[in-house]
Amino acid sequence: MYCLTEIEAAGSTFGNYFRVTTFGESHGGGVGCIVDGCPPRIPLSEADLQVDLDRRRPGQSRITTPRKETDTCRLYSGVSEGVTTGTPIHVFVPNTDQRGHKDSLMMSFCFQDYKEMSIAYRPSHADATYDMKYGVRAVQGGGRSSARETIGRVASGAIAKKILKHFSGTEVLAYVSQVHQVVLPDGSVYHDTVTLDQIESNIVRCPHPEYAEKMIAAIDAVRTRGDSIGGVVTCIVRNAPRGLGSPVFDKLEAELAKAVMSLPATKGFEFGSGFAGTFLTGSEHNDEFFTDEHGTIRTRTNRSGGIQGGISNGEIINMRVAFKPTATISKKQHTVTREKKEIELLARGRHDPCVVPRGISLDNGFPLLCCHLCKF
Amino acid sequence: MYCLTEIEAAGSTFGNYFRVTTFGESHGGGVGCIVDGCPPRIPLSEADLQVDLDRRRPGQSRITTPRKETDTCRLYSGVSEGVTTGTPIHVFVPNTDQRGHKDSLMMSFCFQDYKEMSIAYRPSHADATYDMKYGVRAVQGGGRSSARETIGRVASGAIAKKILKHFSGTEVLAYVSQVHQVVLPDGSVYHDTVTLDQIESNIVRCPHPEYAEKMIAAIDAVRTRGDSIGGVVTCIVRNAPRGLGSPVFDKLEAELAKAVMSLPATKGFEFGSGFAGTFLTGSEHNDEFFTDEHGTIRTRTNRSGGIQGGISNGEIINMRVAFKPTATISKKQHTVTREKKEIELLARGRHDPCVVPRGISLDNGFPLLCCHLCKF
Amino acid sequence: MYCLTEIEAAGSTFGNYFRVTTFGESHGGGVGCIVDGCPPRIPLSEADLQVDLDRRRPGQSRITTPRKETDTCRLYSGVSEGVTTGTPIHVFVPNTDQRGHKDSLMMSFCFQDYKEMSIAYRPSHADATYDMKYGVRAVQGGGRSSARETIGRVASGAIAKKILKHFSGTEVLAYVSQVHQVVLPDGSVYHDTVTLDQIESNIVRCPHPEYAEKMIAAIDAVRTRGDSIGGVVTCIVRNAPRGLGSPVFDKLEAELAKAVMSLPATKGFEFGSGFAGTFLTGSEHNDEFFTDEHGTIRTRTNRSGGIQGGISNGEIINMRVAFKPTATISKKQHTVTREKKEIELLARGRHDPCVVPRGISLDNGFPLLCCHLCKF
Amino acid sequence: MYCLTEIEAAGSTFGNYFRVTTFGESHGGGVGCIVDGCPPRIPLSEADLQVDLDRRRPGQSRITTPRKETDTCRLYSGVSEGVTTGTPIHVFVPNTDQRGHKDSLMMSFCFQDYKEMSIAYRPSHADATYDMKYGVRAVQGGGRSSARETIGRVASGAIAKKILKHFSGTEVLAYVSQVHQVVLPDGSVYHDTVTLDQIESNIVRCPHPEYAEKMIAAIDAVRTRGDSIGGVVTCIVRNAPRGLGSPVFDKLEAELAKAVMSLPATKGFEFGSGFAGTFLTGSEHNDEFFTDEHGTIRTRTNRSGGIQGGISNGEIINMRVAFKPTATISKKQHTVTREKKEIELLARGRHDPCVVPRGISLDNGFPLLCCHLCKF
């Protein structure tokens, strides 16, 4: 009667009161999300979502995948006469016809016909574990592990941003702070003043022009070799509401960590002083309190990263997220098929040499989290 | 009607089907937990829990806090004739009388009487944010932010370990891999073979005797100065079930990150290649598959850290967790009172100079998570 | 900081592990559902869903609303090559162009132009409470309170039925046992043997032909007068798995009651002996146990309705559900507008004179509940 | 890999944001609850809870069970200096020593020694289904199916009442409206004006003195025969907040139905016009709106029972709950043992001849539900 059985995945939902469910994979009719619990009377249009979807989509520049996807969204419910109605919002992005074809181009194997290709496990992809768990495998585009799933996240995050903007002055910005060996030095970006325009001023989305150049060069170098690289995204939250987060299991940093580590290709998360803080003593690390000129209790330093005891304290929340190098590369690799036969695999076609510049769309995540934790 | 209101904290529960709720603070009658959803007919006694509670409790050695707490647990429901009955298990650890007294010794302030003390915010503690959020503050021991809250986690984790042991051969081990500047080099502990005995063989709980000595010396040095330090705990899971975790929001690494980052004093989480993996290229980073002599599909390397696409693949799961230096130090610090008055604060009394050796009790966390994710 | 604020509705989701989210209203692009947590490798096609959608849809006979809706469903994700993949299943039923027009015909008010119509509250509809809660109101078809919302429930229930059929011999049947004053006497339908064909053999869906005639006559009578009537649906579950339900808050009858009472127009729920059982003594009411010829422990009577202590015992589960008379009638009624002005309202157009024959599609609910409670 | 497996019970928790977990059974150390998510700064003492616990406990009068239980509660956490702190509130009611002894007296079987007694299934109790599900059975007092479990519900409901009182003028009253054949006629209790004192003025808790006498006589009659009877409790909510409940799955009546049907011995639930409403036509049943002298939109009649479209409309919420006759009777009954052997069973000792007068403590349920649905 009792045996070890993994409870089947219903893991496509995030949040309780602002509840997002994503659906879809690259080989079906489309992808998207349902947002349940959005407050009524928030102005919302398809154009609001499209801005963020465009920032996420592939094919934006030479350093991202050259695949072209238009990713045009439709709002099928929950909005009437330009405002939300409080009912579930259904966002749908159809898969375009060309896409299936291009995807099948993406993966072709030397010495293998299509049938065998469909059952080889790509190294460091989800192919093998999905097959273990579900006993099914769709080759085209990786099913739910496809980065295409994040379309639903970006769209719902865009809705959350509209809500945050409506109710508070909270601003969330993410930028690239490391690409492979190119590391932006601490303090070279001012978190008090950095702007979205500065971040968007170059294709790698690093607000420091000099380092941006170096990062782009690093991606170009690896792209021409058919290899890939990873990096780090820094994300900051200015004017976060004080008091977000709960004392025990649902600390704000715990919620942030879960949200971030649910993104494809992430390997690490830190906030405030992070791993580097372990090299300080308590007297070096503690953030002393003072009362500022407006009578607000503040901290002089911010090694706490805007969160103390699991609860936001009003200082800037900052976090860093490690993205591994893209697993798809244009180099021959050893692997096995579903039938456990060892083979050599060569993925031709197009891929992101570095996913980090697109990873900045995780700045949509904090608004999502904020709506999940707050009542508006 | 709609304004930004943080939904009040009900954050003391973890898990859905093996559901743990912790309760209690240091100034009340006691602390503990309710575990709902434990399978019936698992042998369980108070002694099973006491082993782990003893490993967690303060006063074990000169490098932890000298406070003595016996932390004797009682099982008040859910167990009958030595086995679980499938009903909620209630674990209660009374607060001893002496404790309240000792706690009040812990914190006394220069130039301040007791009344003022109760309203000063200790730097980098939860005092200020709790007060912002709840408008109440109990000085003794920090309320729910007290490390004493983790007693309920350790007790429920001990129950989870019994279940895991009953149904699978999964083994979870945590050890100290860094204390301040003393960093255990990569590869100096063999994750295939390291044992609990090796870890428990010294008071700092580092399985490498030579580095253990250095770590203990580092803690001794800072302890005598009244300062504190932090460090890193490495946690590994051997023989984890394959197929744990879900593809999208509930990836195994996301669940692990949330669980870990909900522990007091944690600042960062990484698994597999972690932040260091960002310095590799895709061709250096990918884990190639092969079929081993038992016909099992394995990976030659394990930069994936035992998780691919959010799902465990049967390799060793490994993760690293950063703990900041203890916020309580015996040095004078600037801070403000609840009334925004700037004061100097000096905490006398006893504290942990380094929380990391006790932080290894996070090895109880994975069994908890496993029971949350699995059906037994 | 603390005031009474209703937490905003995210109530469009049912279940945890087989999790259904419905979306859509009659005035938007379409309606449907996402089913997350469906096991993989279950054969599933659009035709499987269409059978049940056709049974639910309006316009089937003279005793239901004469509105014609085709309600053709599309499966946009979660199914590949005829079987489920374990990923979210997206079912979409577009609103047809004609529908919007017809809906606006449905409701027109004497002495009022369209603009005012949009803000009068129809008696015993959801108009007033929706407006209080959300501050928005869409006139066409009642928004989420529209019976059209149940399309998503029926579609997901049809998926659940496929799963139940795959894993157990459970059979769920609902039939009409009362229409207004026409009450089917107890015992006139044999729950051990009644079949779906018997139920579907007439347009009122009562398996007793003689009473079916009387019920149809009762509906015809009220239909021609522009009035409406209600009734009772009886639902039985044969071969339900033993052991469904939990001892305390999540008793099986509690879950059933919640599921049933979430359907539009329901006013009461009872199972087993129900309200009538209050007229018996304990010695008359208790179900004695015996061991049957197969060595199975059974009860001689079934006043428990197949559930004891909140847990199914293997006997037939039976329940009765009261549906009020349809609120939309073709008679002049007094009401108020949004601006609190008293007016007379006359709804022209088409409506269901009795919703009970379509209410039998609640037999899709138990499979849903079963999938919510079970792991397959 | 996929088989029908009931997901194990973690059903001891109710609510999300005001989250109650009950624990304990009659044979262990005690019973009680944890309330997580209670707002801070609400005055609360053990005496506040004791009032309601006394109303619930057995041995209050000759018509309830003569067992004496003091049920003295302790608050072990979450309260400091007489007010709540926002942290989990732990309420504990120890089982008294005498109780175990008395319980074992309660059940003894003719022709059977104690050992066999422990494995016979009492008709219409939870014994058989618990044993099927968990494979364990504790004879004393019925484990979690014991009415003693409701102590945790009553205690948490008492906390919820304090909150409701603090934030709104909502008043919840339950009274006995039927005992066996004695049926209080409709309209003989005025829901606008009935008071708690009127209800508590007699031991059967019916506010109509004449019918109260008849009900008491009916219970006396059956009590002396060793039999038992059931009845109906009516519960009303005055000044409920408008806007409670959500449109689809979480309609207010659905939440109420689940809460009510999770109580032991309940067989049916109805609100507003209930089952009787099925005998009306739409034109007879609809509640017309009008604007009252304060400018508030009201309904002239209240067949909707205070809820329209799943959302409270400000009218009095009324519901009726059927309780079956107590299953424990002092008469010989046929049943089987765990080993499927047929035996005769005679329970001696004490039991409630009618549980309905104690069932009125379900008036604590609505405050619980209200706190679950609202943000304070």
pLDDT tens string D284-319: 999 999 999 999 999 999 999 999 999 999 999 999
Residue reference for tokens 């080099």: B185
Say what angle helices B150-167 and B365-373 make with each other, to 10 degrees: 60
Write the CA distances from A322 to A154, A168, B268, B279, D136, integer angstroms. Answer: 19, 29, 11, 10, 49
CA C203/CA B93 separation, integer angstroms: 65
Which pLDDT score is estimated for C312?
A: 94
CB contact at 8 A, B63 and B181:
no
Which pLDDT score is estimated for A230?
A: 97
Q: Residue C134 is encoded by which pair of tokens?
A: 């959300």
Averaged over C150-164, what is the pLDDT? Answer: 91
Q: E strand or H helix at B11, and its extent?
A: none
- B/e letters for B20-56, b = 16+ CB within 10 Å, e = fewer, are bbbbbbbbbbbbbbbbbbbbbebebeeebbbebbebb
Burial class (CB in 10 A: 0-12, 13-18, 19+), B82: exposed
pLDDT tens string D46-88: 999 998 998 887 777 777 766 666 789 999 999 988 999 889 9
Reduced 3-state DSSP string for chain A: CCCCEECCCCCCEECCCCEEEEECCCCCCEEEEEEECCCCCCECCHHHHHHHHHHHCCCCCCCCCCCCCCCCCEEEECEECCEECCCCEEEEEECCHHHHHHHHHHCCCCCCCHHHHCCECCCCCCHHHHHHHHCCCCCHHHHHHCHHHHHHHHHHHHHHHHHHHHHCCCEEEEEEEEECCEECCCCCCCCCCCCHHHHHCCCCCCCCHHHHHHHHHHHHHHHHCCCCECEEEEEEEECCCCCCCCCCCCCHHHHHHHHHHCCCCEEEEEECCHHHHHHCEHHHHCCCEEECCCCCEEECCCCCCCEECCEECCCCEEEEEEECCCCCCCCCEEEEECCCCEEEECCCCCCCCCCHHHHHHHHHHHHHHHHHHEEC
Is there a contact between B86 and D29 if contact means CB atoms under 8 Å apart?
Answer: no
Out of D244, D277, D295, closest to residue C6 by CB = D244
Write the CA distances from A369 to A20, A254, A256, A258, integer angstroms. Answer: 10, 11, 8, 10
Confidence of residue D108 (pLDDT cuts 50, 70, 90): very low
Confidence of residue C9 (pLDDT cuts 50, 70, 90): low
Confidence of residue D370 (pLDDT cuts 50, 70, 90): confident
pLDDT tens string C255-281: 999 999 999 999 999 999 999 999 999
Q: How far is CA D98 from the centre of its chain?
A: 25
CB contact at 8 A, A268 and A321:
yes
Q: Which candidate in A20, A38, A90 is best for mutational testing of the C interface (most C CBs within 10 A)?
A: A90
Q: Which candidate in A34, A145, A183, A258 is best for mutational testing of the B interface (most B CBs within 10 A)?
A: A258
Is D7 domain-assigned?
no
Residue B276 has pLDDT above 80, yes or no: yes
pLDDT tens string D176-208: 999 999 999 999 999 999 999 999 999 999 999
Measured between beta carbons, which residues in chain B are less than 8 angstroms from residue C247? 87
Averaged over C57-83, what is the pLDDT? Answer: 81
CB contact at 8 A, C48 and C161:
no
Averaged over A182-207, what is the pLDDT? Answer: 95
CB contact at 8 A, A141 and A103:
yes
Read off the DSSP letter of residue B220. Answer: H
Is there a contact between B36 and D10 if contact means CB atoms under 8 Å apart?
Answer: yes
Which pLDDT score is estimated for D69?
A: 67
Supply the mean pLDDT for chain D: 86
CB contact, 8 Å: B224 with chain A? no
Residue B218 has pLDDT above 50, yes or no: yes
CB contact, 8 Å: A8 with chain C? yes
Neighbours of B187 (CB within 10 A): 7
**Chains A & D: contacts with CB separation below 8 Å:** 9
Q: Residue A178 is encoded by which pair of tokens?
A: 């490391």
Q: Residue A55 is encoded by which pair of tokens?
A: 């920032």
pLDDT tens string C113-137: 445 455 789 999 998 998 888 887 6
State the Cα angle at A147 between A142 and A150, rounded to 5°: 130
Question: Which of A274-288, B109-123, B159-173, C90-104 tops mean pLDDT?
Answer: A274-288
Q: What is the dihedral of CA C22, C27, C30, C33, to 10 degrees?
A: 0
CB contact, 8 Å: C77 with chain B? no
Read off the DSSP letter of residue B361. Answer: G
CA C244/CA C241 separation, integer angstroms: 6
Is there a contact between D30 and B76 if contact means CB atoms under 8 Å apart?
Answer: yes
Which pLDDT score is estimated for D2?
A: 38
Q: Please state the φ and ψ torsions of residue C17, each to the nearest 5 degrees.
A: -100, -30
Confidence of residue A356 (pLDDT cuts 50, 70, 90): very high
CA D223/CA C141 separation, integer angstroms: 55
Q: Which candidate in A153, A156, A285, A341 is best for mutational testing of the B interface (most B CBs within 10 A)?
A: A285
CB contact at 8 A, B352 and B64:
yes
CA A232/CA B278 separation, integer angstroms: 7
- Return the closest-CA partner of residue C235 out of C368, C136, C132, C135: C368
CA A213/CA A203 separation, integer angstroms: 9
Averaged over B40-46, what is the pLDDT? Answer: 92
Is there a contact between D21 and B34 if contact means CB atoms under 8 Å apart?
Answer: yes
Residue D109 has pLDDT above 50, yes or no: no
Which pLDDT score is estimated for B110?
A: 33
- The SS3 of residue B337 is strand
Residue D104 has pLDDT above 70, yes or no: no
Tell me how long chain A is.
376
Interacting residues of D302 by C-beta distance below 8 A, sequence separation 6+: D272, D287, D315, D316, D318
Residue reference for tokens 């310095």: B279
Residue B100 has pLDDT above 50, yes or no: no
Measured between beta carbons, which residues in chain D are less than 8 angstroms from residue C262? 248-251, 254, 310
pLDDT tens string A288-306: 999 999 999 999 999 999 9
Residue reference for tokens 């912790």: B22
pLDDT tens string A145-172: 878 889 999 999 999 988 887 777 889 9
Min distance B16 CA to chain C CA atoms (Å): 9
Q: Residue D342 is encoded by which pair of tokens?
A: 């047929």
Q: What percent of chain D has pLDDT over 70?
A: 88
Out of A5, A16, A375, closest to residue D375 by CB = A375
Is B6 domain-assigned?
no
CA D107/CA D105 separation, integer angstroms: 5
Confidence of residue C73 (pLDDT cuts 50, 70, 90): very high
Is there a contact between D23 and B375 if contact means CB atoms under 8 Å apart?
Answer: no
pLDDT tens string D14-29: 988 889 999 998 778 8
Strands (DSSP E) contained in C149-214 are 171-179, 182-183
CB contact, 8 Å: D47 with chain B? no
Least confident range from A318-332, B329-343, C57-71: namely: C57-71
Question: Which of A330-334, B180-184, C67-71 tops mean pLDDT?
Answer: B180-184
Which pLDDT score is estimated for C113?
A: 40
pLDDT tens string D338-353: 889 999 988 766 678 9
Is C297 domain-assigned?
yes
Q: E strand or H helix at C289, and its extent?
A: strand C289-291
- Return the closest-CA partner of residue C21 out of B62, B268, B279, A156: A156
| pLDDT: which is higher, C7 or B292 | B292
**Chain A (82-101) residues lying within 8 Å, Cβ to Cβ, of chain C:** 83, 85-90, 92
Which pLDDT score is estimated for D99?
A: 42
Least confident range from B169-183, D57-71, D146-160: namely: D57-71
Out of A5, A135, A375, closest to residue D5 by CB = A5
Determine the residue of chain C that is closest to B135 in CA distance.
Answer: C1
Measured between beta carbons, which residues in chain B are less than 8 angstroms from residue C16? 16
Confidence of residue D112 (pLDDT cuts 50, 70, 90): very low
Domain around B276: 13-373
Which pLDDT score is estimated for A166?
A: 77
**Chains A & C: contacts with CB separation below 8 Å:** 169
In chain D, count H helices and then E strands: 11, 20
CA C286/CA D326 separation, integer angstroms: 9
Supply the mean pLDDT for chain C: 86
Measured between beta carbons, which residues in chain A are less than 8 angstroms from residue D5? 1, 5
Q: Please state the φ and ψ torsions of residue C166, each to the nearest 5 degrees.
A: -70, -35
Confidence of residue D138 (pLDDT cuts 50, 70, 90): low
Supply the mean pLDDT for chain B: 86
Out of A7, A16, A135, closest to residue D7 by CB = A7
Is A304 domain-assigned?
yes
- The SS3 of residue C358 is helix
Which pLDDT score is estimated for B63?
A: 75
Interacting residues of A293 by C-beta distance below 8 A, sequence separation 6+: none
Which pLDDT score is estimated for C114?
A: 42
CB contact, 8 Å: B273 with chain A? yes
CB contact, 8 Å: C224 with chain D? no
**ipTM for this model:** 0.92
Least confident range from B24-33, B129-138, C201-210: namely: B129-138
Q: What percent of chain A has pLDDT over 90?
A: 59
Min distance C160 CA to chain A CA atoms (Å): 14
Confidence of residue A118 (pLDDT cuts 50, 70, 90): low
Q: Residue C65 is encoded by which pair of tokens?
A: 């609303």
Averaged over D107-111, what is the pLDDT? Answer: 34
Q: What percent of chain B has pLDDT over 70?
A: 88
Specify the number of domains making up chain C. Answer: 1
Is B264 domain-assigned?
yes
Is B288 domain-assigned?
yes
CB contact, 8 Å: B1 with chain C? yes
Is B3 domain-assigned?
no
Which pLDDT score is estimated for B108?
A: 34
Which pLDDT score is estimated for A107?
A: 35
pLDDT tens string B45-77: 999 999 899 888 777 777 776 666 678 999 999
Determine the residue of chain A that is closest to B320 in CA distance.
Answer: A268
Is B343 domain-assigned?
yes
**Dihedral angle sign, alpha carbons of residues B1, B2, B3, B7:** positive
Residue C105 has pLDDT above 80, yes or no: no
Which pLDDT score is estimated for D203?
A: 93
Determine the residue of chain C that is closest to A90 in CA distance.
Answer: C23
Which pLDDT score is estimated for A3?
A: 39
CA B116/CA B112 separation, integer angstroms: 6
CB contact, 8 Å: D132 with chain A? no
**Chain D (225-264) residues lying within 8 Å, Cβ to Cβ, of chain A:** 247
Q: Please state the φ and ψ torsions of residue A297, each to the nearest 5 degrees.
A: -75, 125
State the Cα angle at B297 between B293 and B303, rounded to 5°: 115
CB contact at 8 A, D350 and D340:
no
Confidence of residue B25 (pLDDT cuts 50, 70, 90): confident
Domain of C352, CATH number, reads 3.60.150.10
